[in-house]
Structures are given as structure tokens and as C-alpha cells.
Structure 1
């Protein structure tokens, strides 16, 4: 087998392996080649796809110096400032880790906030000069939550994003996080938002997966607080029915494009919930649509090793379902 080939059933967490069209973005970032990077970004016209393209750049280790110098050299270029801001955000959240807020204190919290404030300053400038720039508004939802600016400010930023780009799935996920109890919201608010977005969405869009994301968030909360209720929660017939309706309106709708980047998260959410409930026959179609593609979310919610967790549940679902 050639050294650069990938076994067909090997789980692919790296989006560049799952979507080879993203490879030029990483190559240009590693090479410090701004012209090639900007050209690769220009080829990504869909705003949903641009969020993943930005993440590929932001998660490239050591890219911060190249991106900082580029942003300083091109202060009026919205892409340069936004990509550097995303790198700062990525570094900040890596410092913070995924622990609950109560466990993130002291120097770690201070350094986390410092990174987010630097990113926020860059993004404010981009949004002031380019109010329609979706990627910057999307990232400002992240900074609002991390800097604990409150639900009203996060909602204001979300409204600015959807004013120009309605039904932005990444933006919807960011606001949904803010509406969950762990960030000061409530399950009622989170569920209402997911239902309202689903009702307005075009059939075959990924939006209805928000219904499943709320269920996963609630399940995770129960795992950390009331273990005995977590299994009952995902097996509840009413929630199962809501999940079935959501899948029919989104990932299982004939107009849904499972080749798109957002399909990895959307199908993954339904696959994970059905797996947690032992509904292997219902999980199997989602795993078949995913193939060997996965993202850290939702599988990191199930275990600290998302690849192993995805692979284990996929094997069970395809064998039993």
C-alpha cells in the first residue's frame, strides 16, 4: 500500500483527508504563502464551507506567526484579519480545554480570555468595515460566549449574521451553545431555538439537526449529574419521535447533500443519539452516509477518544442494523 494512501474503512478525523479539496489551504498555510491561501479561499464560495476552511487554517500548528504578520501587512483585508483571529481563538480554547467553566480558573482562564480579546479586537475591525462578512460574525459568536458577554450580546451578533446569511448552520450551533444551561441559558430556551430554526428551514438543510444537538447536550449534562437518568433520556419515546421528524426534515430528506461538509456533524449527531439508545437499525443509515468521515463533535461527548468511539459504534450499527 502506498505510504500516502488511507485504508478505505479508517476513520478520518482530519477534514483534509475527508475532503481533499481542502488540502491546498493547509499546504499554503504551512508554506506561509498568502497568495495561494487567499486563492484557495476564493474558491470556497459557500459560507458554510468557509467556516470549515477557516478551521483548517486555524488548526494548523505554528500558523500564528504567519497569520499575524499577514494581518499586520494587510490591515484592510478582511480575510487576513479573520484568519488570524480564528487562530487566536483556536489557541485560546486549547488553553481553556473542554472542561466545565467552574473548573477553569486562575492563569488558564486569564490566558484564555487574553487570546479571545485579541481575536475580538481584530473581528470588530472586520465587521465595522465589512458588515456582511459572515465568517467574522460567526467567530464573534464564539468570542461573545468565551468572554461571557451574555446571551443578549450573543443574540445581537447572531442577528447581524443571519441578516445577511439566513440559516447559517454554524452560527445556529454557536448560539445554541449559549442558550444551553452550561453557558447561562436553559433547556427550554435551547429547545425553543432549535424548533424555531427547524420550522423556518428549507427541507433538506442541516438545520433540523439542532434538535438532536440539544438532546446530546442534555444527555451530557445528565451524565455529569444524574447518571441513572441519562439512558432513560435518550430512550424516551417522545424524544425519539422528535429526532425521527428532525432526521426526515434534514439528513434523510431527498434534497440533503451528504457530500457536503456540514453533513459530517449533522449525520454524526443522529448516529450518536441512536447509538446511545441502542437503536442500531436507525443509526446504521447515518453511518453509511458518513462512511469513514467524522468530526470531533459529537463523538468527543461520548468519550475522550472520538475516533475510537465513532469506530466502535459504527461497527455495532453496521453489524446489527
Structure 2
């Protein structure tokens, strides 16, 4: 599930500047460790890495590294049979079935996905829901099962009311969970049955309702990018270059990554990449240069795949060059 990964990049040199190459470990050695353990069907190794991290947002990338690993669905079942009360194993099984479900559906448009693919997709997501609800019941303080249920809910089209309840369940346990807010923002976007007005309102309320220095300012940038994506060529650029859009982005940046309380915890690179793209599209070269510099050459797949789905790093380099960096 590429849209859920917070990928980083390998650093090289090109014309005296970092060369962006999107890779899967985001510079965190534990991501590689847990992926290798998952590929080797080493449950002890997977468990040790996951248990060493705080439950919630800090564990998200590690969980998806396991979930995106082929074959986990085969060896996790015997683990559960050996320990029927294993909460973490249920969580891993749920996350794997989400990713496995999207593998069956693929990233194609709905009109291009066969009925058989949708049947497999829904079946795997329903299995994921069972595992995640069981994990949530056994560990009522855990955030991750509810975050996973936000994802299954969208795929199974549970509806706006149920989706909102799942989001609220996640943020009751972790009020500033970035992934949970990103998922709910998608839920209220026009393309999922919401509206631009609802998306902007949710983004601003979430960002400015949180203390200064959180990552939630990214939501404001995402909402503008989503509206840009919905428009035809010409009107899209005209929208992003409205003065009020740049002002909105600057205000969100001030409340988020520019604030002295901002901490570069998991997900920070994606936040800065998103602002870099939004400021670039807005024609705010000074602010865009600031963001590109702050990324330290680290590129994340989201949001650059919106510009170049086959080579997000190339989109990053092109936009960075356009700012004069």
C-alpha cells in the first residue's frame, strides 16, 4: 500500500545537491530489520522490533513494513494458533490483510478492476476487520487497531458516520495521530463523497485545534493539493496561485514545522515534502526553497507521486530546480 508508506530516500550527489531516490527504509534501521524478519517468517524478531517502539504513531511505519511483506499471511496464522490471546499477532495479521487486499484490488481505477478482484479485496479486508477488532478488544488502549479500521472502513465503504466513529476512536487514544487525520481528511474529500469546503474545514480545525509544533499543519497543505488535483489543467494552477492559498500555507507552516516546538519524529520528512510541493505549486519560491532545504534531501513518495506516479523523486527534483535550489 504505497499511499500509506512514509518512504525516505537514498542520498547521493548530483550537481552538488542531494539526489533523491525513493527507498523503503526511510533511513530507520528498524524498518529494514522488521521487514527482513517478516520475510524470514521470524515472529520473534518481528515482535521484538515492534514491542521496542511506543504503541501508536511511532509504530505505524514498522507495522506497514511487516504488512507489505509477501507471505506474512501464511506464517502469522500458526503464530495465532500457538497463542490464541496474542494481541500483537492479531494486529499484524490485520495489517497484512489490508495490504494483501489492496494487492488484489491494485491501484487501478474502480472501473478497471474486475468483479473477481473486488471480491478478493473485500474478503481480505473483512478478515482484517476481524483481526483488528479482536486486537482492539484485547488492548483497549491501543491506537493502531483503530487506525487500521479506518483503512478497512474506506475500502469496505462503511459510510461517513461509521468512518467518523473509527477516526474518533483513534484520536481518543492519540489526539495528534498524523495517519488518522490523513485518513479522515481523505474520507471528507470531494472524491470520496465529501466536499472541498468540508476538507478545508477539517484540515484547519485539526491543525489549529492542536498545539503549535505538531505535524497536523500538513493537513492544510494536503487539502489544497487535493483541490488542485480535482481541477482541469489551467484552473488548477490558477487556484494554487491565489494569494489566499499561499497565505493559508504560510499560516499552517508557522503553526507546524516552523514552530520551535516542532520535533522531527516519525513522519517529519513527509510533512516537509508536502509543504514543499504545495508552496511550489503556489509559486511561493521563497517558502518552497525553505522546505526543500529543510528536507535535507529526504524525499517521500507522498505527495510527489501525484505529479509523477512512476518516479516521485523526479517530480521532487524538477520542482526543487524550479525554485532555484
Task: Give the TM-score taking structure 1 as reference length.
Answer: 0.90
Out of 185, 202, 208, the residue aligned to residue 211 of structure 2 is: 202
Greater displacement, 189-198 / 150-159: 189-198
Q: Residue 183 of structure 1 corresponds to which residue in structure 2?
A: 192
Q: Residue 312 of structure 1 corresponds to which residue in structure 2?
A: 318
Q: Secondary structure of the equivalent of 2:213?
A: coil
Shift of 1:55: 1.1
CA contact (8 A) 1:264 1:295 kept: yes
Q: Residue 150 of structure 1 corresponds to which residue in structure 2?
A: 159
Whose helix proportion is higher, 1 or 2? Answer: 1
Shift of 1:17: 4.6
Out of 101, 106, 116, the residue aligned to residue 115 of structure 2 is: 106
Shift of 1:185: 1.2
CA contact (8 A) 1:75 1:81 kept: no
Matched, 1:296 2:301: yes
Q: Which has the higher contact order (CA 8 A, sep 6+)?
A: 2
In structure 2, relative to structure 1, the CA distance for the partners of 1:292 and 1:68 (3 Å cut) is farther
| CA displacement 1:78-100 (0-9 Å, x = unmatched) | 21111121111112223333344
Shift of 1:198: 1.4
In structure 2, relative to structure 1, the CA distance for the partners of 1:142 and 1:172 (3 Å cut) is same
Between the aligned partners of 1:294 and 1:91, the Cα distance in structure 2 is 25
Matched, 1:139 2:148: yes
Q: Residue 173 of structure 1 corresponds to which residue in structure 2?
A: 182
Q: Residue 242 of structure 1 corresponds to which residue in structure 2?
A: 248
Between the aligned partners of 2:253 and 2:208, the Cα distance in structure 1 is 13
Q: Residue 286 of structure 1 corresponds to which residue in structure 2?
A: 291
CA contact (8 A) 2:280 2:288 kept: yes
Matched, 1:211 2:220: yes
Question: Gaps (5+ residues) in structure 2?
Answer: 1-9
Between the aligned partners of 2:216 and 2:111, the Cα distance in structure 1 is 31
Question: Gaps (5+ residues) in structure 1?
Answer: none
Between the aligned partners of 1:23 and 1:96, the Cα distance in structure 2 is 26
| CA displacement 1:54-96 (0-9 Å, x = unmatched) | 1111122333322333234333222111112111111222333
How many equivalent pairs are there?
A: 311
Between the aligned partners of 1:246 and 1:316, the Cα distance in structure 2 is 23
In structure 2, relative to structure 1, the CA distance for the partners of 1:114 and 1:44 (3 Å cut) is same
Q: Secondary structure of the equivalent of 1:13?
A: strand
Shift of 1:45: 1.3
Q: Residue 55 of structure 1 corresponds to which residue in structure 2?
A: 64
Greater displacement, 63-72 / 186-195: 63-72
Task: Give the TM-score taking structure 2 as reference length.
Answer: 0.89
